[in-house]
Structure 1
């Protein structure tokens, strides 16, 4: 039996204990982990630096280095995220619906998924965020990060398990698969008898591999080729502020804006000024032929630019003649993540929000808000761009299923 199989069996056993854990027991475990992260921050940062040194030798992109890097501030955010989960209601056991049928009391009740297989790239924070969400919802979790973050993930998993040993929850509820070989991923994807759901979080290649190869059900988190469409009636000051935020506040995350669509009339008046602001923030513009006329210094866009999730300070800009053309472009190149319209016309906004098919659609706001904490869900395990069984930020409720609990008084059929 392989190490991965042994871990999965231990996770399955732990999940049977978690399903009966009380909210107080789970909250105590989350607090213990948060305290341990703060106590061991020096050790965590030391191991993270090993990953960063290795990544720099491998000439990794700025985006990957940003996702990989841990700081004292980011560690505190991770610990605070666990404490925020403590304040949220435990969804397990919630009665979603009650009905009386044939004299039977039928209650639809939330229950844990069971064992989650988490496959992710680069981001060590996912190790902690996923752990918190899994434990709060009574799920065991098998974590399989990328080799680029192995030192960081290993120390985090070790600290989490040590913290769990001081609580009533089994340490085997959270385990890291350290084997860097691709066969370990293949094993996880085909353990239907031990793992209940796989959640991939990373680039398009990873997600597609998981979707195509997994025999275990997949909760798909998609890439974020997010658009902002500036309508002809958009307020210039607001538009500048939102576009700068969407592109530059943290370009390496999936809710960053990657493509800017601009109505021709607005572009003629205001695009040059906006491009100057983007330039001050170090943004490289890749523009269509009309954009090149208004911004001669921009790089000519090629077809691949319209479908690329840059995760960097690069912005594709296309000038369009109408709302319909903007929507058509989003339907062709969007990934169903987050799309925004900037307009002072409520009817135009309504047509955009009704016509665009995405997990999050915004009117006069940045795409950067697509985030579990920003939506008030607490931490998230990812952004789902599919339609079943969850869509958008996946928080506590999205990590549960349900069962029917039926009470009778001797009925037979």
Structure 2
């Protein structure tokens, strides 16, 4: 028997209860969770300090430690994000289509919860709260399996949320955390057939591909972000420096951070030194082609794999290209389908770029860092889907629902 079978049974039972709850009941539970998170912040921070100490001892890089770190301000922001969910429309039961047939049948297409949602994710304890609360708002039960690096923080968060859920009169099993962080537990969650309606991996490319290839339950592929910015020959250079700097350094460990900047040869000599000056403030390591190295000092020669890597760190790949076509061909070769951008003042180039680039989010004259559920107005998100079936891009409340058809007749037969 799968070691998580009992967990799955409890989650399935909880999902049936949650599917019949009212908007008011779920919002009350979310409000209780937000208050409980703030009231118990000191306990969470104490557990997070233990996770951080272990991470430092194990040599975790600084940018990944930043993903793991909680602060009083971050916990306050997490609680406020839960309150923001309360304000959002309830997707469950929304009429999204339908009509009447010539035979008198009335057909309604309505949103319904997916049921039981599983998540496998890495060292980001905020995901524990985001995922659980998004699932609760959309009347889903969830089974969460975070990485070992954040197990103490995740456990503290889960205990607080389960207590608040129970106090609000909803089933405690609606939120369950897998405390076994072994590879075996991940495998068991991937094969929890009959209980898990969707499994969402959230993390690096290795984790995501392991889940996609190893799961027998339905998987929504998310997250891997080898994102590009192409600086066209007509780009406003001051804006381009500002956008590229933001896309790389505002938070380099997240999936919407830029990993490669492509620069048109006509403006490379003017642009690259200015970009380097901005990035030097953050000690960004630059890896570039031979033409890049000839224009700015201190560039590490780029290997083929550098253009195929999601660094999640203060590292940026650079390449000088001869044309828009060459930039698009580069992106088509290396893109993970997450977020791609062009900086240009030429309308036709912007149109061609958005037409030919196949990604969840395609930008004109803006940072890739905006690919986020909150920034898109969805509230928090459970992940960024890079696939095309069911959902694509930031996955908010609507994407945590499926649909069903309610057909009302008056005795019709066929």
> For the residues of structure 2 that align with 1:365 and 1:213, how far apart are their CA atoms?
36
C-alpha distance 137-301 of structure 1, shift in aligned 2 (>3 A):
same
How far apart, in 1, do the equivalents of 2:222 and 2:31 lie? 28
- Partner of residue 409, structure 2: 408
Q: CA deviation at 1:213?
A: 1.0
Alpha-carbon offset, residue 2 of structure 1: 6.0
Three-state SS of the structure 2 residue aligned to 1:82 is helix
Q: How many residues in Structure 1 have an aligned counterpart in Structure 2?
A: 413
CA distance in 2, matches of 1:5, 1:391: 30
2:167 aligned counterpart, secondary structure: coil
Q: Is the 8 A contact 2:259 2:317 kept in 1?
A: yes
* SS of alignment partner, residue 165 of structure 1: helix
Any residues of structure 2 matched to 1:225-236 within 5 Å, and which?
225-236=226-237
Partner residue of 1:18? 18
Distance 1:380 1:153 in 2: 18
Deviation at residue 269 of structure 1 after TM alignment: 2.1
Matched residue SS, 2:318: strand
In structure 2, C-alpha distance between the alignment counterparts of 1:100 and 1:60, rounded to whole Å: 59
Structure 2 match to 1:8: 8
TM-score (norm: length of structure 2): 0.98
C-alpha deviation, 1:281, in angstroms: 2.3
Whole-angstrom CA distance in 2 between matches of 1:71 and 1:228? 32
1:360 aligned to 2:361? Answer: yes
Match of 2:92 in 1: 92
The aligned counterpart of 1:372 is 373
State the Cα distance separating 1:3 from its structure 2 match.
Answer: 5.2
Matched residue, 2:253: 252
Aligned residue number for residue 148 of structure 1: 149
SS at match of 2:4: helix
User: CA separation in 1, counterparts of 2:213 and 2:180?
Assistant: 21
RMSD across aligned positions (CA):
0.9
Between the aligned partners of 2:31 and 2:335, the Cα distance in structure 1 is 39
Hey, what's the Cα distance between the residues in 2 that align with 1:397 and 1:347? 34
Contact kept in structure 1, 2:227 and 2:260, CA below 8 Å:
yes
Structure 2: distance between partners of 1:269 and 1:172? 59
TM-fit CA distance, 1:168: 2.2
Deviation of the 1:299 alpha carbon: 0.9
Instruction: Report the counterpart of residue 162 of structure 2 in structure 1.
Output: 161
- Which range is displaced more, 99-108 or 43-52? 99-108
Question: Can you give the 5+ residue segments of structure 2 that lack an aligned partner in the other structure?
Answer: none
Give the match's secondary structure for 1:96: strand
Contact 2:4 2:192 in 1 (8 A): no
The Cα shift of 1:227 comes to 0.5
Runs of 4+ in 1 over 4 A off after TM superposition: none
Output one character per residue of 1:111-159: Cα deviation in whole Å (capped at 9) or x when no partner.
0000011111100000000011100101000010111111001110000
TM-score, reference length from structure 1: 0.99
Alignment of 1:121-270 (within 5 A): 121-270=122-271
List gaps (5 residues or longer) in structure 1.
Answer: none
**Could you tell me whether the CA contact under 8 Å between 2:135 and 2:141 is conserved in 1?**
yes
Contact conserved, 2:198 with 2:219, CA < 8 A, in 1? yes
Residue of structure 1 equivalent to 2:68: 68
Structure 2 residue 21 is matched with structure 1 residue 28: no
User: In 1, distance between residues paired with 2:9 and 2:168?
Assistant: 21
Query: How far off is 1:270 after superposition?
Result: 2.2
**What CA distance in whole angstroms lies between the structure 2 residues aligned with 1:98 and 1:111?**
15
Distance 1:205 1:273 in 2: 34
Answer whether contact 2:286 2:299 (CA < 8 A) is retained: yes
